[in-house]
Amino acid sequence: MKIILATRSVYPFQGYGGMEEYVYFLAKYLLENGNEVEIITNSINGKVSKEVYNNITYTFIPLEIMRSNQKIKKAIIRPYTYHRFSWNVAKYLKTQNFDILHAFGGTAIYYLFENQRNRKPVVFQTFGNEPWKDTGLVKIYNYLVWYIWTWWLFYASDLVASEGEDQTDEIIKLFNIKKDKIFLLPDGIDLKLIDESILNCKITREDIGLSKDDFVTITVSRLDSVKRIDLIIEAFRIICKRIPHAKLVIIGAGQEEENLHRLISQYDLSSYVLHFKNLEFTTLYKYLSLADVFINASLQNVLLISVLEAMACGLPVISSDNQEGLVINDKTGYVVGTKNVDGIVDRIFKIYSTSISKQMGENAQETVKSYSWDSIAKIAIEKYKELINKKRVKINDLSDSTVD
């Protein structure tokens, strides 16, 4: 079976965020399960080209998605570039021989206009529903520019993949999609890679500017406003006064980086906060293992890869939501709700001042064992096979009716 994954951004070429990791690891384990896999993504240099990375074939297609930080310019041009990219993806797919398309974001908008007899089955997957939770002019803009196309993707695709039950409920409510069209395909973790990285990577706390006596809070995230890293910094302003040798490690890059650094300086936290940008997986997992507690303050109501990875590295998690039931109070961490600086402070201090951290970390490791990428890839493969078989039956029925 040949599977094409289409995405505007993927590890390691355009980013190290959750979406980029998700597509990469799904492709890796689809391949390991005996399938042929190709990733179509945004061209870095504006030309069609191919590259093989870790045995996965990447095809780069123009037009590049704009990454300008100028909000007005981005608002005008980005929808155009996104549609151009989707149009070019559709043109490319018409020339290819494959069995199924798994499309992330808006990459399949124009391919789905193909005649049912001609096109291959399509699985559509969106990452989060944040655009529909904005307020004011941003919300109006999102609905005017993106809603109809997003609805079309949900409506015209053959199946919809969702990362969790909460996201599924939101999709049904926002787009009136039948639940039986949606299947769960959650984030996963590469347990073997995590264990090997922690064991073999020789980086120590001292190597990255920490000491053995530091109490280390860590967060891994795209530096985007929806992730609310600013709340973690707000909380840490209080924590560093209550906990001796407290340190905050932020790992990630994004459009909020300048604002966050300004906030760190404003609160005079520069000597307490360490910021590292995109790290290779092996290094990232080692950094996680050197910390004491992980923080997720995101407004996203979906299971996050960064939380799974932190738990697999043995960290208790303080989270704005329960992460599909993985964050359990007093067992694997604490749920504090969104925009709750005081809650973050209280739970960090509780973990620091008691002996529960080690047991919580062990509980967290045990909890996420069922989220291996191999298991998740097998779920996808079964759904792909169902769609392919259904397509064959449909085509045969159409052929028979034509003959009659």
Residue 68's CB is within 10 A of a number of other CB atoms, namely 12
Looking at per-residue pLDDT, the higher value among 31 and 62 belongs to: 31
Q: How far apart are CA 25 and CA 40, in angstroms?
A: 15
What would the pLDDT profile of 326-368 be if each residue is shown by its tens digit?
999 999 999 999 999 999 999 999 999 988 889 999 999 999 9
Domains of the chain with bracketed CATH: 2-188+373-403 (3.40.50.2000), 191-370 (3.40.50.2000)
Looking at per-residue pLDDT, the higher value among 78 and 36 belongs to: 36
Look at residue 256 and tell me whether its pLDDT is greater than 70: yes
Q: DSSP E strands: which ranges in 172-279?
A: 182-184, 215-220, 246-251, 273-276
Which pTM does this prediction carry?
0.86
What 8-state DSSP symbol labels residue 10? -
Show the CA angle centred on residue 136, arms to residues 133 and 140, nearest 5°. 75
Three-class SS state of 338: coil
Nearest residue to 59 via CA among 101, 16, 110:
101
pLDDT bin (cut points 50, 70, 90) of residue 267 is very high
Q: How far apart are CA 165 and CA 302, in angstroms?
A: 8
Residue 304's CB is within 10 A of a number of other CB atoms, namely 25
Specify the residue for token string 């906990």: 243
Nearest residue to 315 via CA among 175, 183, 220, 221:
220
Instruction: Give me 190's structure tokens.
Output: 């590469």
pLDDT bin (cut points 50, 70, 90) of residue 129 is low
Q: How far apart are CA 74 and CA 3, in angstroms?
A: 32
What would the pLDDT profile of 56-109 be if each residue is shown by its tens digit?
999 999 864 444 455 544 555 567 777 888 999 999 999 999 999 999 999 999
What would the pLDDT profile of 184-199 be if each residue is shown by its tens digit?
999 999 999 999 999 9
Q: How far apart are CA 262 and CA 46, in angstroms?
A: 34
Instruction: Output the CA torsion 74→76→82→87 (10° steps).
Output: -150
Specify the residue for token string 């919580």: 360
Output the pLDDT for position 66.
46
Q: How far apart are CA 355 and CA 351, in angstroms?
A: 7
- Name residue 275's beta-bridge partners: 250
Instruction: Give me 376's structure tokens.
Output: 């998740």
